[in-house]
Every structure is written in C-alpha cells, then in structure tokens.
Amino acid sequence: MSETPGSTRYDATPLSSEQQNRFVAENMRRVFLLIYRVVGNVADAQDLTQEAFIKALQRQDQLKDLEKAAHWLSRIATNTAIDFLRRAGRVNFADLENLPEPVLRSHQENPEQRVLRAEHRDRLEAGLEVLTARERMALLLRDVEDLPAEEVALRLNCSKATVRSHIANARVKLRRYMERKKI
C-alpha cells in the first residue's frame, strides 16, 4: 500500500504481513458483530469472520479508495453471512446475550443497568423476529451500521427504492409490535 500526500488510493502492491495484521485487528470486532447479528451463533460467526477477512485480503486489489475500506469490508462480511444462511437454508438472528463477555463489555455497568439493557435487547430482538430477512438486514445496515441507503442497496443487490421500502416496512412492523406488546 502506498499513499501520496492528498491521495487515498492503493497501488498494485499487496499489503505487507504487518499491514494485513493491522487491517484485521482494526476491523475484527465490527465485522464479527455484524456477522453474528446475522447468523446468531458465535462459532459460525467466528468462522465466517475469518472467511470474510480471507476473501478481503485475497481481493485487496479491488479496493481503490481507502476511505471506502470499511464499507467494502462490511459488504464482503454481509455477503459472506448471507451466503452461509442460503447454504444452510436458515435465517437465525443473534441473541447478543450469548456472546462472550469481553466482546460485549465496552465499559462497566452496574447490575441494574445490565438488567434494563438485557430487557430492552430481548424486546428488540423479539421485534426483529417479525421482520423478513431482507427487512432485518436493511434495517441493521442502515440504523446499526449507519450506512447510507445507496450502500445498503449495493450490499443487498437491490435498488435504493427497495431499500427504502424494506426499511419503512421494518419500522412499521417494529412499531406495531412494540405497540401490541406495550413496550
């Protein structure tokens, strides 16, 4: 990777071993959590995270703009997770409570905060189960990953209008679910 002042472009030089290690370390947690939210199993998410990084490093010549590296990697991770679900013939979104503690812990919470957060998470996860896989993925990419609709459309291989429709439908379904459950 070589950069010139004012430039954020890769040349044809592959990343060194040190650069590859840094790239993986900087993105590991985010990619793992994205995949875990989709597949719902720690072991599968770990395997798929490794697979996503292997694909990314094998295709590093496709990345031309360093500013888009996170989106590019997220797209590879999303597609890897979706392909896994297609092969497995299942859609199973994650229960974050089953994650190993160090993955979840960003700061120390008191027991009351943990219980309230767990209750809120459980209600949200139950609400997400009423969504279709495409609605759920569009909503997670847009609202959790904070990606623009254009990027979500690219990752889901659909139009921007379809993404907006998926997100709108997902929000309506979630709102109705929350109202029914009086949440």
Per-residue model confidence (pLDDT) at position 87: 80
Instruction: Please name the amino acid found at residue 93.
Output: F
pLDDT, tens digit (0-9, with 9 covering 90-100), for 148-173 = 899 888 888 899 999 999 999 999 99
Rounded-to-integer distance, Cα 83 and Cα 51, Å: 12
Q: Cβ distance 123 to 137 under 8 Å?
A: no
Per-residue model confidence (pLDDT) at position 116: 77
Closest CA relative to residue 104, chosen from 11, 23, 36, 6: 36
CATH top-level class of 1-106: mainly alpha
Q: Taking the CB of residue 141, how many other CB atoms lie within 10 A of it?
A: 26
Q: Which fold has domain 109-183?
A: Arc Repressor Mutant, subunit A (1.10.10)
Per-residue model confidence (pLDDT) at position 9: 39
Q: What is the pTM of this model?
A: 0.53
pLDDT along the chain (183 residues), means of 10: 38 72 89 84 91 90 73 86 76 53 55 77 79 86 84 87 94 89 70
Sign of CA dihedral 22, 55, 132, 162: positive
CATH 1.10.1740.10 in the chain is located at: 1-106
CATH 1.10.10.10 in the chain is located at: 109-183
